[in-house]
């Protein structure tokens, strides 16, 4: 998915950068003390190959008209033979005070005991209120099942079987980290890397953390 730089900048919300070294995420961000799982997307490693998005589509039976996960290819600067890109993950951020949960009339949009925002398919009536409420536009109405769908960290297809989300598993660049937010792996990464949070108006604090990165790509490969 390609976006113009202007379109991306106009759509930006609050971007909060954290310096990383010596800083505790849980102390710095005033997040809830409850269990929360989180995803880290290291944009310095991501090469925009989209293997994650294709694997997600296959494992979670996502129809052509929908998307749980995509990588936006945002052109930053143009050179004679190369273009500099920012590869930006677009998926549910499992945010606090999630507007999708607040507007759902049946309770089908909910947060489980791991902090993962999910859709209870039998309770979903397909009203699309949650889709309209999500400022990130990362939900869709499945044309086959007629219920809302989005990234849930592969809660049913992978986590329930003891496996990490498929995007983490297939990434050839090891650009994704997933786990409990208070785990040693996640905390060590956040303490030792400069990262940022991308938050749009109307949504609470996200649980998707990003390390900013850009890549020069030959125009022959675009």
User: Per-residue DSSP letters for 75-107?
Assistant: EEEE-SSEEEEEEEEES----TT-HHHHH-SSS
Q: What is the pLDDT of residues 22-63, one digit of tens each?
A: 444 443 444 555 889 999 999 999 999 999 999 999 999 999
Range of the domain at 172: 5-93+151-221
Report if residue 48 sits inside a domain. yes
CATH code of the domain containing 21: 3.30.70.20
Report if residue 138 sits inside a domain. no
Report if residue 117 sits inside a domain. no
Report if residue 204 sits inside a domain. yes
Distinct helix (H) and strand (E) counts, the chain: 7, 12
Confidence at residue 3, expressed as pLDDT on a 0 to 100 scale: 42
Count: domains in the chain: 1
Report if residue 201 sits inside a domain. yes
Report if residue 108 sits inside a domain. no
Cβ–Cβ < 8 Å for 69, 188: no
Least confident of 72-86, 106-120, 171-185: 72-86
Report if residue 137 sits inside a domain. no
Confidence at residue 196, expressed as pLDDT on a 0 to 100 scale: 94
Average pLDDT over residues 182-195: 96
d(C-alpha 177, C-alpha 164), whole Å: 9
Q: What is the pTM of this model?
A: 0.86
Average pLDDT over residues 71-99: 92
Instruction: Select the highest-mean-pLDDT range: 67-71, 72-76, 78-82, 212-216.
Output: 67-71
d(C-alpha 82, C-alpha 22), whole Å: 37
Least confident of 15-19, 37-41, 166-170, 215-219: 15-19
Report if residue 89 sits inside a domain. yes
């Amino acid at each position: 998915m390609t976006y113009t730089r202007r379109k991306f900048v106009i759509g930006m919300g609050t971007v909060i950068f954290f310096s990383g070294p010596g800083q505790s995420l849980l102390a710095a961000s005033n997040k809830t003390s409850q269990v929360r799982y989180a995803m880290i997307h290291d944009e310095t490693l991501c090469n925009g190959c989209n293997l994650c998005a294709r694997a997600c589509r296959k494992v979670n039976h996502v129809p052509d008209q929908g998307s749980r996960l995509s990588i936006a290819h945002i052109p930053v600067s143009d050179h004679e033979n190369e273009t500099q890109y920012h590869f930006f993950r677009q998926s549910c951020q499992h945010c606090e005070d999630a507007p999708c949960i607040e507007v759902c009339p049946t309770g089908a949009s909910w947060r489980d005991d791991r902090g993962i925002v999910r859709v209870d398919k039998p309770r979903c009536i397909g009203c699309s209120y949650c889709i309209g409420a999500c400022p990130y536009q990362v939900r869709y109405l499945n044309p086959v099942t007629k219920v809302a769908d989005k990234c849930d960290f592969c809660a049913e297809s992978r986590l329930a079987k003891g496996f990490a989300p498929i995007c983490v598993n297939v990434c050839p660049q090891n650009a994704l980290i997933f786990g409990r937010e208070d785990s040693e792996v996640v905390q060590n990464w956040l303490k030792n890397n400069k990262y940022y949070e991308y938050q749009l108006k109307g949504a609470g604090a996200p649980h998707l953390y990003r390390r900013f990165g850009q890549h020069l790509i030959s125009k022959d490969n675009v």
